[in-house]
Amino acid sequence: MESQLAEVRAALSQSGESTFEGAKAKAELAVQELNNVTLHIAVTGVTGAGKSSFVNALRRVQDGEEGAAPTGVEETTMEPTMYRHPTMPNVNIWDLPGIGTKNFRAREYIKMVNFNTYDFFLILTSTRLHENDIMLAKEIEKNKKKFYFIRTKVDQDVDAEKRKGKTGEQTLSLLRHALEEKLKDLGSVRIFLMSSWELHKFDFNELIRVLEKDLPDNKRNALIQSLPVYSMEILDKKYNTFKKVTWVSAFASGAVGAIPVPGVSAAFDLPMILAFLTKCYFSFGLDENSLKKLSERVNKPIFAKVHESKFIKAISTRSLALLAVELSSYLALEGLEAALRFIPFLGIVTGAVMSFTTTLLALSKGLDELYKAAKEVVEMAGLD
């Protein structure tokens, strides 16, 4: 009980408001902003640089799969194509046309691809950096947006150089220095070495760290929540972004439309809790489709166990009834009303406060359960 109350106290102090009503009004605005945030990522670079393959890797769809961006030596993307994230509809990844190698005009190109649409640009380059990549970067900078250079297909370089006796580290270090040298006119440009075949290796995490710093709060959260779970670090980041919004979600929910749960004295907003946890469930890669793909990728047929958990089942089948049972058995609320009186901030405990408290505790518990399951998956898959 003490730790639960500490959670409620922390939520109240995070709101920075002195009344429950004030905190609620602020939270409602924050939730509206969260729901309206969109992120548009532009993926550009010369023809064949690996743009479409990278878009697919970010969206966790395999090349050739339904809804995947067409890839291959013959497949050229001729106009900007938007690919919605499969589970986060507010995150859009744009596969831009190849910038060509001849007669390139950066100013015309950025006009043609609707420059203003995008939050930032990823400029992909594979075997050779082209003058046009640099011209494009300069034009993006002139128009006050951010760009990041990504050297793709480094798996190929590592393999090829291994045959000549170089270690992976040596190859990557040489690649990095050669590119830094070529890009030195642009100032301090960061280069990220990557492979769409093995997104979890090389500089993917580093790119995310840099983007996290550069993006405003809501967009950063959207980005993190949309990422494939390729490491424990990414899973932890996801958990933290969800954890941060539990209190706003609980404040904003209120008792309106709440469903009384047998055995729990305060009604709480079960549909909102289910919607929130469903988002976490997909973001953590716990859905059957993601688990199946991971299982194939790491060649370990062990993830079906995750769906044996009653809690996960409640979410995967979107069953309010099952979720209510799971949560009410956790929320042993008998002592809660009395305990709440000890929080000086609250004064008199009202139905709304009770509803807020139970909703917050349910969200936290649900999030922790999903995180625990996802952590086990990451460990079993050997991704940590």
Query: By C-beta, is 78 or 348 nearer to Mg ion?
Result: 78
Please state, as a whole number, how many other Cβ atoms lie within 10 Å of the Cβ of residue 34: 17
Q: What is the dihedral of CA 30, 240, 273, 247, to 10 degrees?
A: -50
CB atoms within 10 A of CB 142: 11
Identity of the amino acid at 191: I
Q: How far is the CB of 101 from ligand GTP (least distance, A)?
A: 11
Beta carbons of 303 and 380 less than 8 angstroms apart: yes
- Residue 94 or residue 356: which is nearer to Mg ion going by CB? 94
With binding defined as CB under 6 A, does residue 47 bind ligand GTP?
yes
* Cα three-residue angle 318-283-65, rounded to 5 degrees: 95
- Taking CB within 5 to 8 Å according to partner kind, which of ligand GTP, Mg ion, none is near residue 220? none
Least distance (Å) between residue 61 CB and ligand GTP? 13
**CB of 280 within 8 A of CB of 242?**
yes
Judged by CB under 6 A, the residue of 15, 195, 253, 283 near ligand GTP is 195
Among ligand GTP, Mg ion, none, the one that 44 touches (CB under a kind-dependent 5 to 8 A) is: none
> Which amino acid, 194?
M
| Strand positions, DSSP E, the chain | 39-45, 81-84, 91-95, 120-125, 146-151, 191-193
- Calculate the alpha carbon distances from 141 to 97, 104, 279 in Å: 19, 17, 35
- Name the one range near ligand GTP by CB under 6 A: 74-82, 114-122, 180-188, 314-322: 74-82
What element of type H or E holds 48?
none
With CB under 6 A as the rule, give the number of residues binding ligand GTP. Answer: 21
Is residue 362 within 8 Å of residue 309, measured between CB atoms? no
Going by C-alpha positions, the residue among 16, 380, 85, 132 that lies closest to residue 227 is 85
Q: Which does 246 bind (CB under 5 to 8 A by kind): ligand GTP, Mg ion, none?
A: none
**Residue-by-residue DSSP string for 274-289:** HHHHHHHHHHTT-SHH
| Strands 191-193, 146-151: pairing kind | parallel
For residue 54, the minimal CB distance to ligand GTP (Å) is 7
User: Computed over its alpha carbons, how large is the radius of gyration of the chain?
Assistant: 24
Residue 337 interacts, among Mg ion, ligand GTP, none and using kind-specific CB cut-offs from 5 to 8 Å, with none
Among 4, 7, 12, 48, binds ligand GTP (CB under 6 A): 48
> Is there binding between residue 153 and ligand GTP (CB under 6 A)?
yes
Using CB under 5 A, pick the residue from 56, 77, 221, 359 that binds Mg ion.
77
By beta-carbon proximity to Mg ion, the closer residue of 44 and 357 is 44
Q: How far is the CB of 362 from ligand GTP (least distance, A)?
A: 42
Q: How far is the CB of 73 from ligand GTP (least distance, A)?
A: 5
Nearest approach, Cβ of residue 67 and Mg ion (Å): 15
Distance (Å, whole) CA 135 – CA 132 = 5
- What 8-state DSSP symbol labels residue 368? H
Which residue lies nearer to ligand GTP by CB, 94 or 356?
94
Q: Looking only at residues 80 through 109 of this chain, which bind ligand GTP when binding is defined by CB under 6 A?
A: 98
**Considering only 67-75, 250-258, 277-285, 363-371, which stretch makes contact with ligand GTP by CB under 6 A?**
67-75
Binding of residue 72 to ligand GTP (CB under 6 A): yes
Task: List the one residue out of 38, 147, 55, 36 whose CA is nearest residue 91.
Answer: 38
Report if residue 197 touches ligand GTP, rule: CB under 6 A: yes
53: partner contacted, choices Mg ion, ligand GTP, none (Cβ within 5-8 A by kind): ligand GTP
Q: Which residues bind Mg ion (CB under 5 A)?
A: 51-52, 77
Q: Which residues bind ligand GTP (CB under 6 A)?
A: 47-53, 71-73, 75-77, 98, 152-153, 155-156, 195-197
